[in-house]
Structure 1
Amino acid sequence: MVKNHIPKKRFGQNFLSDAVLLDKLANYINASKNDFFLEIGPGVGGLTDYLYKKPRQYVAVELDKDLVHNLERKFSKENNFKIINKDILDIDLKEFADASNPIRLIGNLPYNLSSPILEWCFDQIEMIKDMHFMFQKEFAERCAGDETTNSYGKLSVMCKYLCKVEILSEVERNFFEPIPKVDSSFVRFIPKIRKNKIEELKNLKKILPKLFNKKRKKIAKTLREIYSDKDLNEIGLDLNLRPDQMNIQQFIDLARLKQKNG
């Protein structure tokens, strides 16, 4: 922990300092010399310490100016390291990467910013090689959920559509300072290649809220407001299902049907 730094609640700061845990997380990430990393909210540099020496370039984006000063003092002599004092949501990944040279993202994310940061990632998914994020456990389960779990919902479908999602480790709240009220999970996202699927994704985003806003209702009524019975028969979808009983492919089939029929 940085001496005399008091964690700021408004930034959602909960720091990791346990050496065994940090080493475990670094091993999951498995950095190599050809990697380009961007760390979101490095904080006191706990995880940074275990990773920055390996990749060819390491960019850390930190909003807290006090922590930026500490990080600059700590890593200023490292040629491959750069610290940016900015809100991550104002960063354009095109400044660092493109589809042929994707970037790796990591971060112990503030719980209250998990959704907007993940959406920010998804909007630039073609420039991302992979993502390793620490989330609130409940949020992580929603990301990784499927039709067999209670956590399944809109977020699950979007995550699974765009990425292969894996919860790598659960992390108890006592590993953080200050100690939060909930446990966390460390999650890996590996983007799927979905070239020329812009309309499909756009349609999926329209369909999901319409269905999951009536999560416990059968899908028949909602879908018949969007499609004709002929359209629905074409994909062979059981209209007696509830949205939380549909698998990812069935949602994709609907998105393609909407695209096909305008």
Structure 2
Amino acid sequence: MSIIERMLAALRPETGDPVVEVGPGLGALTLPLLARLDRLAVVEIDRDLIARLESQQLNGLTIHPGDVMQFDFDALARELTADTEGNGQAVHSLRVVGNLPYNIGTPLLVRLMDCQRMIRDIHVMLQKEVVDRLHAEPGTRAFGRLSVLMQSVFEVTPLFTVPPSAFDPPPKVQSSVVRMKPRSDAPDAETLDALQACTRLAFANKRKTLRNNFKGHLDDKALIDLQIDPQARAETLDLPAFHRLAKQLRHT
């Protein structure tokens, strides 16, 4: 089974699904998706690639030119849902797919985290190192700020690894395909802002203790009251501990 076939098998698109592909490129995933969907939205910044897609006059394809980091996923979710269901209810509707460029993979996921209420699921190919960080467990080398943020908002499931030989030319790194689905208990926007601030402080210097990284924000007593060892390092804490820290910072 090819990489594209495996991605489609994981996605299992249905005809009326509101799907957006990030970075369609030459259309390796775009065309098979269109064969299974009534329509497909794609976001592409490269004008030459846009022209190639436009020249094919593909039925059901809507091209959104521009930088995906500036793209309004909320508006697209509302538009697609209003057109297909007639009610504009976009909560947990949008399906995001794509082979993400390595330079925007992490920043884009952080953006999608902010509009997770509009997203049903995400199926993307990323650098394997990033996927390792997304689902890393506390106490491991890969566990960090990205792990805490993403796992607080999404259920993260690595699906399969893609070797460099699958690409032409082959990159110097391995890739992985990952599925991310919004958690039913994901933090609200205010809590998420606090969690971002909390993790920024906690992981400011991974070699330093929490006492040092939170200096001027939380003292030893505050950390101990939260059942957190001031001499511990951020990568040893579990998600509930970070959520307690975030909640405390909101009220400090």
- Equivalent residues in 2 for 1:165-244 (5 A)? 165-194=156-185, 197-223=188-214, 225-244=216-235
Give, in whole Å, the separation in 1 of the partners of 2:215 and 2:15: 53
Once the two structures are superposed, residues 2-34 of structure 1 have per-residue CA deviations (whole angstroms, 9 ceiling, x without a partner) of xxxxxxxxxxxxxxxxx7221111101111123
Give, in whole Å, the separation in 1 of the partners of 2:209 and 2:219: 16
What SS does the aligned partner of 2:15 have?
Answer: coil
Please say if residues 40 and 108 of structure 1, whose CA atoms lie closer than 8 Å, have aligned partners that are also in contact. yes
Q: Amino acid of the residue matched to residue 50 of structure 1?
A: P
Shift of 1:196: 7.0
Give, in whole Å, the separation in 2 of the partners of 1:192 and 1:115: 19
Instruction: List gaps (5 residues or longer) in structure 2.
Output: 79-89
Give, in whole Å, the separation in 1 of the partners of 2:92 and 2:190: 24
Q: Amino acid of the residue matched to residue 73 of structure 1?
A: S
Please say if residues 41 and 109 of structure 1, whose CA atoms lie closer than 8 Å, have aligned partners that are also in contact. yes
Give, in whole Å, the separation in 1 of the partners of 2:27 and 2:44: 10
- The TM-score with structure 1 as length reference comes to 0.84
**Paired positions, count:** 241
Match of residue 67 from structure 1 = 49
2:34 counterpart of 1:52: yes
Match of residue 146 from structure 1 = 137
Give, in whole Å, the separation in 2 of the partners of 1:163 and 1:53: 29
Match of 1:155 among 138, 146, 169: 146
Once the two structures are superposed, residues 80-123 of structure 1 have per-residue CA deviations (whole angstroms, 9 ceiling, x without a partner) of 32122222122212332144362111110111111222222122
- The TM-score with structure 2 as length reference comes to 0.87
Match of 1:86 among 66, 74, 82: 66
2:155 counterpart of 1:164: yes
Match of residue 251 from structure 1 = 242
Match of residue 118 from structure 1 = 109
Match of residue 42 from structure 1 = 24
Shift of 1:151: 0.8
Give, in whole Å, the separation in 2 of the partners of 1:214 and 1:30: 42
2:121 counterpart of 1:130: yes
Shift of 1:234: 3.4
Match of residue 87 from structure 2 = none
Once the two structures are superposed, residues 184-240 of structure 1 have per-residue CA deviations (whole angstroms, 9 ceiling, x without a partner) of 111111112357722211111111122212212222343453225553343222333
Shift of 1:77: 4.3
Give, in whole Å, the separation in 2 of the partners of 1:119 and 1:229: 31
Give, in whole Å, the separation in 2 of the partners of 1:115 and 1:218: 26
Give, in whole Å, the separation in 1 of the partners of 2:14 and 2:171: 32
Match of 2:7 among 4, 25, 35: 25
% identical equivalent positions: 30
Give, in whole Å, the separation in 2 of the partners of 1:87 and 1:214: 32
Give, in whole Å, the separation in 2 of the partners of 1:202 and 1:100: 20
